[in-house]
């Protein structure tokens, strides 16, 4: 007793009740935390598809678009469909084959309509207030084009400049209303050879330095795998991704003998490629941090004639199965709250579009593109 005040102790029964209420409150907090954890990780809250979520897709276009007037005349309809219906804003027209010296073969005839093609694209862009990323796609046979040769690499850089500038001396697109937005190389084969691969990577660095930071560089990469010149390992994907703006996996020629097999293969390819690019293959250890250059990854979708010698059967390697596999792969990555590899995925890339009729067994508006709209965009 102090200062005339009495401290009245709680009755034992009241003290026990207070303690019980505190224990109950504690367990309520634990239960709430548990419920929130389950809400995030439980399959009941997982997404089941990514259809319609990726609206910046790509298409490889036939070389005919830069060579023949009849194909230039198709550009307005092509651009309209790509822009409004199929959500494709990356166009990769085939701009030629590189010779052993690194120049574009027979450029005067093979690029006869390249300016008219670019002008037609620009006209559509201005009329509709849109912008396509038009990237010149160049092919090279690695058995004749030696990218370890510095002179050859320098020549390829100069050719790239002449496609991406309307004012440079010798420009292939001089006086056109727009130039190409970048250059994509497809060097085949380019796997299972570190010397060639490192030279290829250096070439892409040189091209970027040559055409400038405002232009895009890209590589069409082999399917994921190891031990073959026709496949790229995790290491190849990881280090190339850090040195280009666009990376397209050529995820076909799988040898699949059923649609379900190709669908499963595609799902695994998408997962492995994105794991490699993001560095997740190595759990982003000190030697494999996530890329910070903004690289965008596209996963290829086949729309071309069967080629048994290359392991491509168009009955099984078709967009309905391929896109379903891609959807499953990206969906699973999104549902993984720890793995963020999907952040580097930009969209699907269709190979190959010619006139859209399908009579040549390339992409058809009525079949392949219908499947694209259904299985990827969820439009119908």
| Residue 349: count of CB within 10 angstroms of its CB | 23
Cα(25)–Cα(179) distance, integer angstroms: 67
- The domain 54-377: what is its CATH number? 3.20.20.80
> In terms of pTM, does the model score above 0.85?
yes
Q: Which two tokens stand for residue 126?
A: 């201005």
Strands, E, within 17-77: which ranges? 57-61
> What's the distance, Cα to Cα, between the start and end of the chain in Å?
84
Beta bridge partners of 183: 136, 217
* Radius of gyration for the chain, computed over Cα atoms and rounded to the nearest angstrom: 27
Show Cβ contacts of residue 287 under 8 Å, excluding neighbours closer than 6 positions. none
Per-residue pLDDT of the chain (380 residues; tens, 9 = 90+): 344 445 545 455 555 655 666 656 666 766 666 555 544 444 457 999 999 999 999 999 999 999 999 999 999 999 999 999 999 999 999 999 999 999 999 999 999 999 999 999 999 999 999 999 999 999 999 999 999 999 999 999 999 999 999 999 999 999 999 999 999 999 999 999 999 999 999 999 999 999 999 999 999 999 999 999 999 999 999 999 999 999 999 999 999 999 999 999 999 999 999 999 999 999 999 999 999 999 999 999 999 999 999 999 999 999 999 999 999 999 999 999 999 999 999 999 999 999 999 999 999 999 999 999 999 999 99
* Confidence (pLDDT) at 14: 57
Angstrom distance (rounded) from CA 372 to CA 120: 25
* CA nearest neighbour of 179 among 223, 132, 226: 132
The structural domains of the chain, with segments of one domain joined by +, span: 13-41, 54-377
* Contact by Cβ (8 Å): 244, 205: no
Backbone phi, psi, residue 48, to 5°:
-110, -10
Secondary structure letter of residue 374 according to DSSP:
I
The CA distance from 189 to 222, in Å, is: 8
Do the Cβ atoms of 300 and 247 come closer than 8 Å? Answer: no
């Amino acid at each position: 007793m102090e200062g005339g005040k009495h401290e009245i102790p709680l009755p034992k029964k009241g003290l026990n009740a207070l303690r019980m209420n505190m224990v109950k409150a504690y367990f309520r907090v634990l239960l709430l935390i548990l419920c929130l954890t389950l809400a995030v990780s439980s399959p009941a809250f997982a997404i089941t598809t990514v259809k319609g979520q990726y609206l910046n897709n790509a298409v490889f276009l036939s070389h005919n678009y830069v060579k023949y007037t009849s194909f230039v005349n198709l550009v307005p309809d092509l651009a309209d469909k790509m822009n409004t219906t199929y959500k494709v804003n990356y166009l990769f027209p085939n701009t030629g084959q590189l010779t052993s010296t690194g120049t574009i073969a027979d450029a005067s005839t093979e690029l006869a309509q390249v300016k008219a093609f670019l002008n037609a694209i620009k006209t559509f862009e201005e009329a509709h207030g849109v912008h396509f990323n038009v990237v010149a796609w160049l092919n090279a046979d690695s058995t004749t084009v030696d990218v370890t040769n510095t002179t050859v690499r320098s020549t390829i850089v100069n050719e790239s400049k002449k496609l991406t500038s309307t004012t440079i001396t010798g420009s292939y697109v001089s006086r056109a209303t727009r130039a190409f937005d970048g250059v994509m190389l497809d060097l085949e084969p380019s796997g299972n050879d570190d010397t060639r691969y490192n030279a290829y990577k250096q070439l892409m660095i040189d091209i970027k330095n040559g055409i400038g930071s405002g232009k895009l560089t890209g590589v069409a990469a082999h399917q994921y795998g190891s031990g073959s010149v026709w496949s790229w390992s995790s290491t190849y994907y990881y280090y190339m991704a850090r040195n280009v703006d666009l990376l397209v996996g050529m995820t076909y020629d799988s040898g699949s003998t059923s649609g379900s097999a190709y669908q499963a293969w595609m799902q695994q390819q998408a997962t492995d490629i994105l794991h490699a690019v993001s560095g997740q293959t190595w759990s982003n250890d000190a030697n494999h941090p996530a890329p910070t250059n903004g690289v965008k990854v596209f996963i290829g979708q086949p729309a071309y004639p069967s080629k048994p010698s290359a392991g491509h059967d168009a009955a099984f390697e078709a967009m309905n199965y391929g896109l379903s596999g891609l959807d499953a792969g990206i969906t699973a990555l999104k549902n993984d709250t720890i793995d963020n590899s999907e952040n580097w995925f930009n969209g699907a890339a269709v190979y190959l579009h010619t006139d859209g009729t399908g009579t040549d067994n390339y992409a058809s508006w009525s079949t392949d593109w219908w499947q694209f709209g259904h299985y990827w965009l969820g439009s119908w």
